[in-house]
Amino acid sequence: MFLQGQTGEANVPAADVPVAPVYTIGPHPGTNEVYPTPQAGYVPPQVPMVMPVPDRPLGCPPGLEYLTQVDQLLVHQKVELMEVLMGWETKNQYVVKNSLGQQVLFAAEESDFCTRMLCGSVRSFLLHIQNNTGQEVMTLSRPLNCSSCCFPCCLQELEVQSPPGSPIGYVMQSWHPFVPKFTIQNERKEPVLKIVGPFCDCKCCSDVIFEVMSLDESSAIGRISKQWTGFEAEAFTDADNFGLQFPMDLDVKIKAVLLGACFLIDFMYFEHSQNQE
């Protein structure tokens, strides 16, 4: 097929003539609007693809997806000015960070003034843990129990819940006359791991290590370490820093319970005030 020019000049093969997209106007079905309709063979510009949001892993409580991607966390307690100046026990607040120092969670204590002043470090509390968007992803509940190793009953315990109040695990103190010990339980209260602390929890010029171990205590799979923050910080405040390590493939619920154990250990062994001392 050839095209005939308007001046009668030589015919040019149609295949050599570039053809631009030609649009026709047609009504949009069911409306009075019109839109351009390309000719057959025209490919419209491609819209950039939006990456889909990854699904929550099976069995992962809402809001704890990030814990599936980490094998260590840093916990920093905020310094309260009123506590430093007056010696009054204030509500504890913590910032949880990843290994790069980026904040991933925030924890705030809920308790009343009388309980904090009269019961001190053994006080009952609720600890609300939120992500960076303000969504509460965990709630830690600690009842008022005995803290003395001389009494093997009513020892310390902590329940870890996922909103709206579904238990995902427990931290239970195990009686021992000399060594701090805890059992990590799942939501069915079945033992999963053990935590074994040092014979002496003295925090003088060194880190204090609590080993996360298998049930038979034959192998260590992680640790909770209370980090030395310097003489002045240790002497005049109870603002502590902790490092938490665990296997990357550990059940996300057990990771959350280990984080709860870190807070319980802080209250039991490193919480103090000027009045108490």
Which comes out higher in pLDDT, residue 154 or 22?
A: 154
Look up the CATH number of domain 72-270.
Answer: 3.20.90
Q: What is the mean pLDDT of the chain?
A: 77
Give residue-wise pLDDT tens across range 38-68. Answer: 555 555 554 444 334 346 677 788 889 999 9
Mean pLDDT of 124-145: 92
Mean pLDDT of 208-231: 87
Residues 247, 226: Cα–Cα separation, whole Å: 19
Mean pLDDT of 158-164: 92
Query: For position 165, what pLDDT does the model report?
Result: 84
pTM of the model: 0.72
Asked if residues 230 and 204 have their Cβ atoms less than 8 Å apart, the reply is: no
Residues 236, 234: Cα–Cα separation, whole Å: 6
**Is it true that the peptide bond before 29 is cis, omega within 30 degrees of 0?**
no
Q: Is the pLDDT assigned to residue 198 strictly greater than 60?
A: yes
Closest CA to 244 of 96, 126, 132: 96
Residues 125, 7: Cα–Cα separation, whole Å: 95
